[in-house]
Amino acid sequence: MNLLNKPIHILGAGGIGAAVGWALARAGYTVVLIDSHPNKISEGKKNGVTVVGIGTQAVPFMAFDEWIAPNEGFILLCTKTYNNPEILTRLPEDAFLVPIQNGFDAALERRHHACEGIASFVSECLRGRAETRITRPGTLHIGARRSVTAWEWDEIASLAKALAKTKLFPVELVKDIQPYKATKLMYNAAISPLAAVAGLDNGALLTDLLAKKLFFGMLYENYAILKHAHIKLARIGPFHPDTVSYILRMTALSKLMAIFFRPSLRGTYCSMAPDISVDYCRTEIEAYNGYLIQLAGNFPCPLNRAVLALFERIASENLKPHRKYLQYLVDSLPEGVLLDSSRR
Ligand SMILES: NC(=O)C1=CN([C@@H]2O[C@H](COP(=O)(O)OP(=O)(O)OC[C@H]3O[C@@H](n4cnc5c(N)ncnc54)[C@H](OP(=O)(O)O)[C@@H]3O)[C@@H](O)[C@H]2O)C=CC1
Ligand SMILES: CC(C)(CO)C(=O)C(=O)O
């Protein structure tokens, strides 16, 4: 049986779900987009999904409240991890679930699903709109997250092939997705909280001196935690994380790297930013920095702890993003944590 002969259900018609749904529908697959935002659902039903600058594609939309999980076929999970609890209770045990999410959600991990996707393209879908804009090109890695049967592998490979057909983003099929997921976390857990809490563009993490110091410090700490836990890492982008960590230890080289990477971060979307800039704060911080702290155990992770504590404060006091929180973070760190890279 090929699962692609059944409708592909995509939960969450946001930056990732709308782009992936668009690509599959345009390639001729039967897709259903399920979302919880009334305006997005009515706009999607009326006009379909638009990828800005590329085109509009008709795709059936459905409200999550009315959704019944199908018995067969792929279910792509493209919501934020904080929406997982309500979704997981509605999924049958044997659903062929394929999450495309950042971070590690403990409840999701326990499902022991076969396949996962890691998106390195960046796509911005405004809240309540069935329209997304790809703000940075990048690969979608698709692969197995545990040992799989021959049938499961064939399904994973056919999904990757289907996703690649329209060439909206490059797709790479990989045997083991875990090193890609861990590497993406190394980057996300540095970029997202800093840009979101300071209200800065991702690119400013390489121009604003204080932001850059914290950004490089977090990248290095995240790498050290993952290495200490013996987690395998993979190359996403031009360098393997081992090379990134080497560069971070060399002051002159890291200055050069900042200049080199600036254009690729400038003007890109940060998916955590809208989660604290509206009248509530609900973020994926637990699945990013919370997970890294758990993984670290007794291994020192002062930056991640400071970031998590700040986010708890932002949420409980309903604070708005501001650059002053970068200084707040620095002040809350034990002395000597943000060493010059040459002293690491
Ligand atoms: N955007 C990006 O460029 C990237 C995102 N990621 C990751 O991908 C995941 C998705 O992010 P992103 O696409 O940005 O998210 P978005 O916020 O753009 O989209 C999520 C959508 O899911 C909807 N939703 C909420 N609850 C449910 C539910 N129970 N059932 C169905 N839909 C629901 C949301 O509605 P409402 O707005 O009403 O909550 C929203 O429309 C995250 O883990 C993110 O970290 C990874 C790489 C890049
Ligand atoms: C752009 C980037 C890397 C920022 O963390 C991202 O993946 C996201 O916002 O979801």
Point out the ligand nearest to the CA of residue 282: 1
Using pLDDT thresholds of 50, 70 and 90, give the confidence band for residue 341.
low
Shared domain for 43 and 101, answered yes or no, is yes
Shared domain for 210 and 88, answered yes or no, is no
Q: How many CA atoms lie within 13 A of 54 on its CB side?
A: 19
Point out the ligand nearest to the CA of residue 117: 1
> In sequence order, which residues have a C-beta less than 8 Å from that of residue 94 and are 6 or more positions away?
none
Shared domain for 21 and 116, answered yes or no, is yes
| Average pLDDT score over residue span 10-36 | 98
Shared domain for 11 and 153, answered yes or no, is yes
Shared domain for 115 and 170, answered yes or no, is yes
**Domain end (from 152, 176, 200):** 176
Shared domain for 170 and 58, answered yes or no, is yes
Ligand 1 centroid–CA 79 distance in Å is 4
Please give the backbone phi and psi of residue 98, each rounded to the nearest 5 degrees, phi first: -130, 95
- SS3 state of residue 193: helix
Token pair for 132: 């997304």
Ligand 1 centroid–CA 129 distance in Å is 12
Shared domain for 142 and 236, answered yes or no, is no
Ligand 1 centroid–CA 344 distance in Å is 37
**Domain end (from 142, 176, 210):** 176
| Average pLDDT score over residue span 273-292 | 92
* % of the chain beyond a pLDDT of 70: 98
Shared domain for 153 and 246, answered yes or no, is no
Give the CATH number of the domain where residue 107 resides: 3.40.50.720
Give the CATH number of the domain where residue 216 resides: 1.10.1040.10
Look up residue 334 and give its DSSP letter: P
185-196: pLDDT as tens digits? 999 999 999 999
Tell me the sheet residues that pair with 96: 74
Ligand 1 centroid–CA 296 distance in Å is 27
State how beta strands 49-51 and 131-136 pair. Answer: parallel
Distance between CA atoms of residues 112 and 109, nearest Å: 6
Q: Which domain holds residue 85?
A: 3-176
Examine the pLDDT at 249 and tell me if it is beyond 70.
Answer: yes
Per DSSP, which regions of 126-201 are E strands? 131-136, 140-144, 171-176
Residue 242 beta carbon below 6 angstroms from any ligand 1 atom: no
Point out the ligand nearest to the CA of residue 65: 1
Point out the ligand nearest to the CA of residue 285: 1
93-125: pLDDT as tens digits? 889 999 999 999 999 999 999 999 999 999 999
Closest ligand 2 atom to Cα of 15: 10
Residue whose Cα lies nearest atom 3 of ligand 2: it is: 188
Q: State the pLDDT at residue 175.
A: 98
26-76: pLDDT as tens digits? 999 999 999 999 999 999 999 999 999 999 999 999 999 999 999 899 999
Ligand 1 centroid–CA 335 distance in Å is 37
Pocket test for ligand 1, best of 83, 97, 100, 264 (most atoms within 8 A of CB): 83
Question: What predicted TM-score, i.e. pTM, was given to this entire model?
Answer: 0.97
Shared domain for 339 and 194, answered yes or no, is yes
Residue 191 beta carbon below 6 angstroms from any ligand 2 atom: yes
Pocket test for ligand 2, best of 180, 206, 272 (most atoms within 8 A of CB): 272
Pocket test for ligand 2, best of 102, 132, 218, 307 (most atoms within 8 A of CB): 102
Closest ligand 1 atom to Cα of 40: 41
Distance between CA atoms of residues 196 and 311, nearest Å: 10
Residue 187 beta carbon below 6 angstroms from any ligand 2 atom: yes
Number of domains in the chain: 2
| Average pLDDT score over residue span 153-176 | 98
Using pLDDT thresholds of 50, 70 and 90, give the confidence band for residue 335.
confident
**Domain end (from 153, 176, 199):** 176
Examine the pLDDT at 343 and tell me if it is beyond 70.
Answer: no
Shared domain for 171 and 186, answered yes or no, is no
Point out the ligand nearest to the CA of residue 274: 1
